[in-house]
Amino acid sequence: MSGRLQGQVVLLTGGASGLGLAIVERFVEEGARLGVMDRSTEGCAALQERFGSAVVCSPGDVRSWQDNERAVADTLAAFGRLDTVIGNAGIWDFNAFLADLPGESLAAAFDEMLQINVLGYIHLARASLAALTETRGSLIFTVSNAGFMPNGGGVLYTASKHAVVGLIRQMAYEFAPYVRVNGVAPGAMVTQLSGADSMGMADRVYPGDRIAARAEGFVPLGRMLETAEYASGFVFFADRRDNVPATGSVLNYDGGLLVRGMGPVPRGGDDLPHKLGL
Protein backbone atom coordinates (compact mmCIF):
# COMPACT_ATOMS: atom_id res chain seq x y z
CA MET A 1 0.00 0.00 0.00
CA SER A 2 1.33 3.44 -0.90
CA GLY A 3 1.75 6.02 1.83
CA ARG A 4 -0.12 9.29 2.22
CA LEU A 5 2.87 11.23 0.89
CA GLN A 6 3.85 8.91 -1.94
CA GLY A 7 5.87 10.79 -4.55
CA GLN A 8 6.10 14.01 -2.57
CA VAL A 9 9.37 15.84 -1.95
CA VAL A 10 9.94 17.51 1.41
CA LEU A 11 12.71 19.74 2.80
CA LEU A 12 13.18 19.81 6.58
CA THR A 13 15.58 21.73 8.83
CA GLY A 14 16.94 20.18 12.02
CA GLY A 15 16.23 16.66 10.84
CA ALA A 16 19.16 14.70 12.27
CA SER A 17 17.85 14.28 15.81
CA GLY A 18 14.87 14.67 18.10
CA LEU A 19 11.54 15.69 16.62
CA GLY A 20 13.12 16.35 13.24
CA LEU A 21 14.42 12.80 12.99
CA ALA A 22 10.98 11.46 13.97
CA ILE A 23 9.46 13.52 11.14
CA VAL A 24 12.02 12.13 8.68
CA GLU A 25 11.25 8.57 9.78
CA ARG A 26 7.51 9.05 9.43
CA PHE A 27 7.68 10.87 6.11
CA VAL A 28 9.88 8.17 4.58
CA GLU A 29 7.38 5.60 5.85
CA GLU A 30 4.61 7.59 4.13
CA GLY A 31 6.47 7.48 0.79
CA ALA A 32 8.13 10.90 0.71
CA ARG A 33 11.66 11.74 -0.34
CA LEU A 34 13.42 14.32 1.76
CA GLY A 35 16.05 16.97 1.72
CA VAL A 36 17.36 17.72 5.20
CA MET A 37 19.44 20.62 6.47
CA ASP A 38 21.17 20.12 9.82
CA ARG A 39 24.17 21.76 11.45
CA SER A 40 25.60 18.36 12.42
CA THR A 41 27.74 16.87 9.67
CA GLU A 42 27.80 13.60 11.61
CA GLY A 43 24.01 13.64 11.80
CA CYS A 44 23.78 14.23 8.08
CA ALA A 45 26.09 11.31 7.38
CA ALA A 46 24.00 9.05 9.63
CA LEU A 47 20.81 10.04 7.80
CA GLN A 48 22.34 9.29 4.42
CA GLU A 49 23.60 5.91 5.58
CA ARG A 50 20.29 4.94 7.14
CA PHE A 51 17.85 6.12 4.46
CA GLY A 52 19.95 5.91 1.32
CA SER A 53 18.49 7.50 -1.79
CA ALA A 54 15.32 8.60 0.03
CA VAL A 55 17.21 11.39 1.80
CA VAL A 56 19.76 13.99 0.78
CA CYS A 57 21.28 15.99 3.64
CA SER A 58 22.97 19.38 3.46
CA PRO A 59 25.01 20.48 6.50
CA GLY A 60 24.26 24.09 7.28
CA ASP A 61 23.23 26.81 9.72
CA VAL A 62 19.68 28.16 9.42
CA ARG A 63 20.98 31.66 10.21
CA SER A 64 22.85 31.65 6.89
CA TRP A 65 20.90 32.68 3.80
CA GLN A 66 23.43 30.87 1.62
CA ASP A 67 23.01 27.60 3.55
CA ASN A 68 19.24 27.77 3.12
CA GLU A 69 19.64 28.45 -0.60
CA ARG A 70 22.00 25.50 -0.90
CA ALA A 71 19.63 23.14 0.93
CA VAL A 72 16.82 24.06 -1.46
CA ALA A 73 19.11 23.67 -4.47
CA ASP A 74 20.42 20.30 -3.25
CA THR A 75 16.88 19.00 -2.75
CA LEU A 76 15.76 20.18 -6.18
CA ALA A 77 18.87 18.69 -7.79
CA ALA A 78 18.23 15.33 -6.14
CA PHE A 79 14.45 15.08 -6.55
CA GLY A 80 13.36 17.69 -9.08
CA ARG A 81 10.60 19.45 -7.09
CA LEU A 82 9.42 20.63 -3.69
CA ASP A 83 5.98 19.90 -2.26
CA THR A 84 6.44 20.71 1.42
CA VAL A 85 9.05 22.63 3.38
CA ILE A 86 9.26 22.25 7.16
CA GLY A 87 11.05 24.74 9.39
CA ASN A 88 11.90 22.79 12.52
CA ALA A 89 15.43 23.69 13.71
CA GLY A 90 15.44 25.60 16.97
CA ILE A 91 17.03 26.14 20.37
CA TRP A 92 15.60 26.53 23.88
CA ASP A 93 16.41 28.85 26.80
CA PHE A 94 15.83 26.33 29.61
CA ASN A 95 13.07 28.45 31.13
CA ALA A 96 15.45 31.33 31.88
CA PHE A 97 13.40 34.07 33.53
CA LEU A 98 14.34 37.66 32.72
CA ALA A 99 15.45 38.41 36.29
CA ASP A 100 17.96 35.56 36.01
CA LEU A 101 19.63 36.94 32.87
CA PRO A 102 22.50 39.43 33.16
CA GLY A 103 21.54 42.64 31.44
CA GLU A 104 24.83 42.87 29.57
CA SER A 105 24.24 39.50 27.87
CA LEU A 106 20.65 40.11 26.79
CA ALA A 107 21.41 41.48 23.34
CA ALA A 108 23.59 38.53 22.35
CA ALA A 109 21.12 36.00 23.74
CA PHE A 110 18.21 37.72 22.00
CA ASP A 111 20.07 37.80 18.70
CA GLU A 112 20.97 34.11 18.82
CA MET A 113 17.52 32.91 19.92
CA LEU A 114 15.59 35.01 17.39
CA GLN A 115 18.01 34.39 14.53
CA ILE A 116 17.76 30.62 14.88
CA ASN A 117 14.09 30.29 15.87
CA VAL A 118 12.63 33.06 13.70
CA LEU A 119 15.07 34.32 11.06
CA GLY A 120 15.91 30.71 10.18
CA TYR A 121 12.25 30.14 9.27
CA ILE A 122 12.13 33.36 7.24
CA HIS A 123 15.27 32.41 5.32
CA LEU A 124 13.85 28.96 4.58
CA ALA A 125 10.51 30.32 3.40
CA ARG A 126 12.11 32.84 1.05
CA ALA A 127 14.63 30.36 -0.33
CA SER A 128 11.92 27.80 -1.13
CA LEU A 129 9.12 30.15 -2.19
CA ALA A 130 9.55 29.88 -5.96
CA ALA A 131 9.72 26.08 -5.91
CA LEU A 132 6.67 25.82 -3.65
CA THR A 133 4.71 28.29 -5.79
CA GLU A 134 5.34 26.11 -8.85
CA THR A 135 3.87 23.04 -7.12
CA ARG A 136 1.24 24.90 -5.04
CA GLY A 137 2.93 23.35 -2.05
CA SER A 138 2.98 24.09 1.66
CA LEU A 139 5.15 25.45 4.44
CA ILE A 140 4.93 23.96 7.92
CA PHE A 141 6.66 25.46 10.96
CA THR A 142 7.30 23.86 14.34
CA VAL A 143 5.87 26.16 16.99
CA SER A 144 5.52 25.07 20.65
CA ASN A 145 3.04 25.28 23.48
CA ALA A 146 5.21 28.33 24.33
CA GLY A 147 3.73 30.04 21.28
CA PHE A 148 0.43 30.35 23.17
CA MET A 149 1.11 30.28 26.89
CA PRO A 150 3.78 31.30 29.41
CA ASN A 151 6.35 29.07 31.13
CA GLY A 152 6.92 26.67 28.25
CA GLY A 153 10.26 28.45 28.12
CA GLY A 154 11.75 31.69 29.36
CA VAL A 155 11.19 35.17 28.02
CA LEU A 156 13.41 34.77 24.95
CA TYR A 157 12.11 31.38 23.81
CA THR A 158 8.50 32.37 24.44
CA ALA A 159 9.00 35.57 22.44
CA SER A 160 10.49 33.60 19.55
CA LYS A 161 7.61 31.12 19.40
CA HIS A 162 4.95 33.81 19.63
CA ALA A 163 6.76 35.44 16.72
CA VAL A 164 6.51 32.21 14.72
CA VAL A 165 2.72 32.21 15.14
CA GLY A 166 2.71 35.71 13.64
CA LEU A 167 4.94 34.59 10.78
CA ILE A 168 2.57 31.77 9.92
CA ARG A 169 -0.42 34.10 9.73
CA GLN A 170 1.37 36.79 7.74
CA MET A 171 2.97 34.34 5.30
CA ALA A 172 -0.36 32.55 4.82
CA TYR A 173 -1.82 35.88 3.74
CA GLU A 174 1.11 36.86 1.53
CA PHE A 175 1.46 33.50 -0.23
CA ALA A 176 -2.22 32.68 -0.82
CA PRO A 177 -3.52 31.14 -3.02
CA TYR A 178 -0.31 29.45 -4.16
CA VAL A 179 1.37 28.24 -0.95
CA ARG A 180 -0.35 27.14 2.24
CA VAL A 181 1.40 28.00 5.52
CA ASN A 182 0.62 26.20 8.79
CA GLY A 183 2.23 25.21 12.07
CA VAL A 184 2.33 22.38 14.59
CA ALA A 185 2.69 23.34 18.26
CA PRO A 186 3.97 20.29 20.17
CA GLY A 187 4.18 20.00 23.93
CA ALA A 188 6.86 18.41 26.08
CA MET A 189 8.77 15.42 24.72
CA VAL A 190 12.05 13.59 25.17
CA THR A 191 14.27 15.24 22.58
CA GLN A 192 17.79 16.54 21.98
CA LEU A 193 16.79 20.22 22.04
CA SER A 194 19.82 22.27 23.08
CA GLY A 195 20.30 25.80 24.34
CA ALA A 196 21.82 29.06 23.21
CA ASP A 197 25.61 29.24 23.05
CA SER A 198 25.50 32.91 24.07
CA MET A 199 23.72 31.88 27.29
CA GLY A 200 26.27 29.13 28.08
CA MET A 201 23.69 26.47 27.23
CA ALA A 202 25.06 24.94 24.03
CA ASP A 203 26.08 21.72 25.79
CA ARG A 204 22.88 21.38 27.79
CA VAL A 205 20.14 19.08 26.52
CA TYR A 206 16.42 19.33 27.21
CA PRO A 207 15.79 17.40 30.47
CA GLY A 208 13.22 15.10 28.90
CA ASP A 209 13.77 12.10 31.16
CA ARG A 210 13.37 14.20 34.31
CA ILE A 211 10.26 15.90 32.98
CA ALA A 212 8.85 12.57 31.81
CA ALA A 213 9.14 11.21 35.35
CA ARG A 214 6.65 13.80 36.58
CA ALA A 215 4.56 14.12 33.42
CA GLU A 216 1.57 12.41 34.98
CA GLY A 217 1.21 15.39 37.29
CA PHE A 218 1.10 18.09 34.61
CA VAL A 219 0.25 16.55 31.22
CA PRO A 220 -3.52 16.05 30.92
CA LEU A 221 -3.01 12.88 28.85
CA GLY A 222 -1.00 11.51 31.78
CA ARG A 223 2.38 10.86 30.20
CA MET A 224 5.20 12.39 28.22
CA LEU A 225 4.51 11.94 24.52
CA GLU A 226 7.10 10.53 22.13
CA THR A 227 8.56 12.49 19.23
CA ALA A 228 7.09 9.93 16.81
CA GLU A 229 3.61 10.67 18.12
CA TYR A 230 3.96 14.33 17.18
CA ALA A 231 5.11 13.56 13.62
CA SER A 232 1.57 12.77 12.47
CA GLY A 233 0.61 16.44 12.80
CA PHE A 234 3.15 17.30 10.13
CA VAL A 235 1.88 14.48 7.92
CA PHE A 236 -1.63 15.95 8.14
CA PHE A 237 -0.53 19.36 6.86
CA ALA A 238 1.69 17.84 4.17
CA ASP A 239 -1.01 15.50 2.85
CA ARG A 240 -2.43 17.13 -0.27
CA ARG A 241 -5.75 15.40 0.21
CA ASP A 242 -6.35 16.34 3.85
CA ASN A 243 -4.83 19.81 4.13
CA VAL A 244 -6.67 21.65 1.34
CA PRO A 245 -8.66 24.05 3.61
CA ALA A 246 -5.76 24.72 5.97
CA THR A 247 -3.66 27.84 5.78
CA GLY A 248 -2.75 30.19 8.60
CA SER A 249 -3.59 27.39 11.05
CA VAL A 250 -1.61 26.17 14.03
CA LEU A 251 -2.39 22.74 15.41
CA ASN A 252 -2.13 22.75 19.20
CA TYR A 253 -0.78 19.24 19.52
CA ASP A 254 0.48 19.26 23.07
CA GLY A 255 -1.13 16.52 25.12
CA GLY A 256 -3.62 19.03 26.53
CA LEU A 257 -1.18 21.56 28.01
CA LEU A 258 -3.05 24.49 26.52
CA VAL A 259 -6.17 23.65 28.52
CA ARG A 260 -4.22 22.99 31.70
CA GLY A 261 -1.63 25.77 31.79
CA MET A 262 1.95 25.49 33.02
CA GLY A 263 3.72 25.89 36.34
CA PRO A 264 3.18 24.55 39.88
CA VAL A 265 1.71 27.87 41.08
CA PRO A 266 -0.35 30.51 39.24
CA ARG A 267 2.49 33.05 39.21
CA GLY A 268 6.22 33.01 38.56
CA GLY A 269 7.49 35.96 40.57
CA ASP A 270 7.26 34.88 44.21
CA ASP A 271 11.05 35.03 44.56
CA LEU A 272 11.54 38.18 42.48
CA PRO A 273 12.64 40.41 45.40
CA HIS A 274 15.24 37.80 46.37
CA LYS A 275 16.56 37.58 42.80
CA LEU A 276 16.87 41.36 42.62
CA GLY A 277 18.51 41.66 46.04
CA LEU A 278 15.64 43.62 47.55
Which residue, among 217, 256, 275, has the nearest Cα to 96 in the 3D structure? Answer: 275
In the annotation, is 230 catalytic? Answer: no
Phi, psi of 14 (to 5 degrees): 65, 45
> Of 121, 157, 206, 230, which residue is the catalytic one?
157
Phi, psi of 177 (to 5 degrees): -100, 10
67 within 8 A of 94, measured Cβ to Cβ:
no
27 within 8 A of 55, measured Cβ to Cβ:
no
125 within 8 A of 182, measured Cβ to Cβ:
no
Count CB-CB contacts under 10 A for residue 208. Answer: 18
Q: How far apart are CA 188 and CA 222, in angstroms?
A: 12
85 within 8 A of 137, measured Cβ to Cβ:
yes
| Enzyme catalytic residues | 157
